[in-house]
Every structure is written in structure tokens, then in C-alpha cells.
């Protein structure tokens, strides 16, 4: 198993190189000039040329790419063209917001999705089964931005239960150690701030969780129904085992492999879905940062952000592969 994990880790290197080449090429083929964006439409050609020279944008593409890779090997993603700040620091701050949001969203999606899918399979064709599957279909179909705006209107503007945007109320001043607000508030021992930060995350987490929750619920139901028809399940029931033992000890464990696959994919996709959620709820996360950077043609920021997302996606898939080996001993590692 150790050799297989090492091989999977080594495969990350060519994947990230390929992603960097694609990202670098596509960005430079998109119409638009960062120098023109910075200086404005009324800037003279001479001023634009001088800024291009300063930023190195007038060099051949392969020279720019090799310079980017040399800095990357040193752990330096460069500086933002727009803010002139370190890309690594800005991405770390933004990624912490997205990671916190995605983590809470995934907890909601997994708990509710697996629970609803399991009950729907056990009570097939019941009212709960029909209602949960209609809800799952609605969860996939409803746009995140529309659901987010609806939640803000209802729970914030009308009922006043939850804050509409941001990560923390301005009345709290918490030292940023990890940039994960929930953890930083606990480190500071400020439980009032922790409660406030959690309230800020409830609506965006639920909005972001709707699609993966629906997909996990449907996959769980489908996988459970297939397992429940197997001979060993009938044998377990014939032995007089209780229904709870049959479901939770025998059925769910054998139905979990496809569910694990879906969960792993959804964790990676949450980073992409976070763009709309972070925009609607004004969260300074990686998705919003990437959107603004693309609009501003901030090449170093976009390239760094894409590499961070690609690395996270590959890392999640590595965890899923390792989980396969532990859940199902029949999977052989060569």
C-alpha cells in the first residue's frame, strides 16, 4: 500500500505541470491586456508599452512560462499584477475562506445525503422515498445564486435570523492565525465571535451543499437498492438478524464504494461552485478571487489559483483511493 501511495503522489507532478501549461496558454490567448486594464482605456500606447516592459508581458510566452516555473520550484507564485502583493499570501487567505465554507457544506451534504438516500432505499416507494427524491431533483435543478438570494431575503431581511453577508461582524476583532474564522475564534477563546462566525456560514454552506447533497442522496439510494437485493442480505435476514444490523453492518458498508467516489468528486467541484456562493454572500474566498483576477487579467493570480485547485482536487482523489483500500479489502494494490 505504501508504494501505491508514493506512486500516486509522484503522479501529482506531471498533472500539475500539464495544468500549468494549459492555464498559462489559455490565459494568454484570451483577449485583453493586463497593462491596459491597469492603466485604463485612455492610457497612451507609450504608457502601456512601458508597463508591459516592466511586468515582462512583452517577452515570448515560453520565456514567461519558464520564469513562472522557476519561481514555482522555489515556492514562489509571484506577485499580483493588480495589487503587487504576494500571490501565495493572497491565495492562502482566500483559500482558507473557501476551505471552511466547502468543509461545512460537505458535512451537511454527506450527513443529509447519505441519511436521506439510505432511508429512501429502505422505505422504497414510500412517501418519504418520493419526497426525498423530488427534493434531490430540486436540489440539482435550483441555481445556487437564486437559492442564495432567496435565503438572504427570507432569513436575513424578513425574519432577521441570520446575517446576510461577510464572515464576521465588524464588532469582533479576532487575530488571524489560520485564517479559518471558526478555528481562530476558538483559539482566541471568544465563543461569542465563534457563534457569530458560524451564523455567517449557515446560509452559504446550505446553499453550496444543495447540489452535492442531492447527488449523494440519489447515489446512496441507487447503491443501497442494488445491495439490498443481493443474496447475502437475504441470508442475513434469514439468520434472524435485526433490520438495523442488516442495513448498517452489511448493506451500507458494501454500498459505500460508489458513494465515496461521488463524495470525492463533489469535494473538488465545491471549489468551482463556491464562485457563485461567495459572490452572492460577499465572502472573500478563492472562487471570488479567481473571478476578479480573470476579469482583471491578473495572470500570476489566476495561474496560482488554478494550481491550488488542481492540487486540492488531486489530493482529494488520493484520499479516496486510500479509502477504497480500507473499505474493501478485495481491492488489490499492485
Across 20-46, average pLDDT: 71
Coil, strand or helix: which one is 158?
A: helix
Domain 87-327 CATH assignment equals 1.10.3720.10: yes
Average pLDDT, the chain: 81
HSE-up of residue 325 (Cα within 13 Å, Cβ side):
12
Q: Where exactly are the structural domains of the chain?
A: 2-73, 87-327
Query: Using CA atoms, how far apart are residues 211 and 150, in angstroms rounded to an integer?
Result: 16
DSSP assigned state of 246? I
As a whole-number percent, the residues of the chain with pLDDT over 70 amount to 89
Q: Which of 54-68, 99-113, 124-138 has the lowest mean pLDDT?
A: 54-68
φ, ψ (nearest 5 deg) of residue 74: -85, 0
> What pLDDT, on the 0 to 100 scale, is given for residue 334?
47
Answer whether residue 198 shows pLDDT above 80.
yes
More confident residue, 121 or 54: 121
Query: Using CA atoms, how far apart are residues 173 and 315, in angstroms rounded to an integer?
Result: 33
pLDDT band (50, 70, 90) for residue 37: low
Output b/e per residue, 138-162; b: 16+ Cβ within 10 A: ebeeeebeebbeebbeebbeeeeeb
Angle at 164 between CA 211 and CA 210, to 5 degrees: 10
Amino acid at each position: 500500500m505504501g508504494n501505491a501511495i508514493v506512486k500516486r503522489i509522484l503522479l501529482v507532478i506531471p498533472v500539475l505541470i500539464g495544468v500549468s501549461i494549459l492555464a498559462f496558454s489559455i490565459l494568454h490567448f484570451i483577449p485583453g491586456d493586463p497593462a491596459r486594464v491597469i492603466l485604463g482605456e485612455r492610457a497612451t500606447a507609450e504608457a502601456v508599452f512601458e508597463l508591459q516592459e516592466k511586468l515582462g508581458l512583452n517577452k515570448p510566452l515560453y520565456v514567461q512560462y519558464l520564469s513562472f516555473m522557476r519561481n514555482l520550484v522555489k515556492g514562489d507564485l509571484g506577485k499580483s499584477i493588480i495589487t503587487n502583493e504576494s500571490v501565495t499570501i493572497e491565495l492562502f487567505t482566500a483559500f482558507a475562506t473557501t476551505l471552511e465554507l466547502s468543509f461545512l457544506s460537505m458535512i451537511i451534504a454527506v450527513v443529509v445525503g447519505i441519511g436521506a438516500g439510505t432511508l429512501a432505499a429502505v422505505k422504497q416507494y414510500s412517501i418519504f422515498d418520493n419526497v426525498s427524491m423530488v427534493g434531490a431533483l430540486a436540489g440539482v435543478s435550483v441555481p445556487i445564486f437564486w437559492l442564495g438570494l432567496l435565503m438572504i431575503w427570507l432569513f436575513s431581511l424578513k425574519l432577521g435570523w441570520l446575517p446576510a453577508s461577510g464572515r464576521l461582524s465588524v464588532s469582533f476583532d479576532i487575530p488571524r492565525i489560520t485564517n479559518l474564522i471558526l478555528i481562530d475564534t476558538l483559539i482566541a477563546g471568544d465563543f461569542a465571535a465563534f457563534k457569530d462566525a458560524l451564523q455567517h456560514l449557515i446560509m452559504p454552506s446550505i446553499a453550496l451543499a444543495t447540489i452535492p447533497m442531492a447527488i449523494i442522496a440519489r447515489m446512496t439510494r441507487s447503491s443501497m437498492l442494488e445491495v439490498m437485493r443481493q443474496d447475502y442480505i437475504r441470508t442475513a435476514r434469514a439468520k434472524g438478524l435485526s433490520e438495523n444490523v442488516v442495513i448498517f453492518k452489511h448493506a451500507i458498508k458494501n454500498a459505500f464504494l460508489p458513494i465515496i467516489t461521488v463524495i470525492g468528486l463533489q469535494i473538488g467541484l465545491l471549489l468551482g461552485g463556491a464562485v457563485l456562493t461567495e459572490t452572492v454572500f460577499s465572502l472573500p474566498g478563492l472562487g471570488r478571487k479567481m473571478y476578479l483576477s480573470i476579469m482583471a487579467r491578473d495572470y500570476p493570480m489566476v495561474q496560482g489559483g488554478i494550481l491550488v485547485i488542481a492540487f486540492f482536487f488531486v489530493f482529494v482523489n488520493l484520499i479516496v483511493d486510500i479509502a477504497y483500500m480500507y473499505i474493501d479489502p478485495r481491492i488489490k494494490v499492485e
